[in-house]
Copies of this chain bind each other. A is one copy, B any other.
Amino acid sequence: MKNPTNRVSFRVRYAETDAMGIVHHSRYIPWMELGRTEFLRQYGFSYRQCEEEGYLFPLLAVACQYHAPAKYDDLVTVETTLKAIRPPYLEFSYRITREPDGLLLVTGETKQICITKDKKPRREPVKKMEEFFRHLN
């Protein structure tokens, strides 16, 4: 049984670089977020719709390991993998690589919690995902 995964590719923007001539280390974090959005879309979930229904998924923790730098105009791929679901918690891991040679640029992990707008933890939306992914396998 393999963990569900999404792959999304895009080009590095000039505004994402810094004075070292490489992508600024903080800029990979929004790429992971983009990866999560596309992961959810692929499996029929919409983060935007979740939010419109009153659920938020703020981050509790993020970690990044930098292996090689991305540069302006590189074509990069973010591979997002569902690592663990423990309602109300949701964990993803990420591998960011360069195309076409597959050079590993960054690995990372995030942990999120599902809450309502008044900051109460909510297990239900994450449970629904848990069941969906259990049946998928």
Which residues in A have some Cβ–Cβ distance to B below 8 Å? 10-11, 13-22, 24-27, 29-30, 33-34, 37, 46-48, 51, 56, 58-66, 69, 71-73
CA distance A66 to B58 in the complex (A): 9
Are A26 and B19 interface neighbours, CB within 8 A? no
Sampled A-B contacts (21; CB under 8 Å): A11-B34, A11-B37, A13-B30, A13-B34, A13-B37, A14-B33, A15-B18, A15-B24, A17-B19, A18-B18, A19-B19, A25-B29, A29-B29, A58-B69, A59-B64, A60-B65, A60-B66, A61-B63, A61-B64, A62-B64, A63-B63
Contact residues in B for A69 (Cβ distance below 8 Å): 58
Not counting A14-B37, A15-B29, A17-B19, a sample of 16 additional A-B residue pairs whose C-beta atoms are within 8 angstroms of each other reads A10-B10, A11-B34, A11-B37, A15-B24, A15-B30, A20-B56, A24-B30, A25-B58, A25-B59, A26-B29, A26-B33, A37-B73, A51-B72, A58-B66, A59-B64, A61-B66
Are A22 and B65 interface neighbours, CB within 8 A? no
Are A48 and B61 interface neighbours, CB within 8 A? no
Contact residues in B for A48 (Cβ distance below 8 Å): 71-73
Q: A37-B73, A72-B48 are in contact. Are A30 and B26 (CB under 8 A)?
A: yes
